[in-house]
Amino acid sequence: MKKRIHISDIITLEKVVQNFNKIKSFYFSEVNYDIGGSFFDLYIWTSENRISENQIKIYNELIKNFDKYSIEINDFIQSTYSNYEIKKLDKLNNLKLNIDIISIPYNNENFEAVLVCGKQYKLFGFLKKNIDVRVEFKYGNINSIERKPDTTKENETINVLQHDV
């Protein structure tokens, strides 16, 4: 396993080829994103073993604008709280957004990047509950967000930015 990169690192094609692990049809790296050692998995998908400058640009822009996106993501998560979660509103709103995965496909007509993130809270004793969302980006903006138990599946609708109660 090659060394982790840090979220503040600007990546280039050369850095990806040299520092990421090549696994079948994607390049992979773990990315540290806070002082506590938290990390997320970064996947940059290939086509015929190539990645594009555009994919690198998309990732760098996503990281550069993450604070702006996190406000919208946190607002969305708050709009999806269950009745039980609403009772813990202050505690949940103060939890940090955890990043799990960023995936940059080679060419995808529906989205140019996927972010899987969420919050985790204590349910009872040692039991924990995850609030997981899949955020799809297109043209540098959030295209859709869905809270879902299986974040590997693409979002079903465009602009799912408000939760219907």
Q: For residue range 74-95, list pLDDT tens digits in order.
A: 999 999 999 999 998 889 999 9
Secondary structure (3-state) at 57: helix
Q: What percent of the chain has pLDDT over 90?
A: 80
For the chain, the average pLDDT equals 91
Owner of token pair 């995936």: 103
Q: Which two tokens stand for residue 43?
A: 């996947």
Quick check: 40 and 102 in contact, CB under 8 A? Answer: yes
Query: Is-above-0.95 flag for pTM?
Result: no
Continuous segment of H or E residues that includes residue 78:
helix 66-79
Per-residue pLDDT at 1 = 58
105, 111 contact by CB (below 8 A): yes
Number of other residues whose CB lies within 10 A of the CB of residue 131 = 20
Residue ranges covered by each domain of the chain: 5-147
User: What does the pLDDT read at residue 164?
Assistant: 38
pLDDT at residue 165, rounded to an integer: 30
pLDDT attached to residue 157? 62
* Average pLDDT of the segment spanning 33-42: 90
Phi, psi of 83, rounded to the nearest 5 degrees:
-60, -40
pLDDT digits 0-9 by tens, 109-165: 999 999 999 999 988 888 999 999 999 999 999 999 999 999 999 998 654 554 333
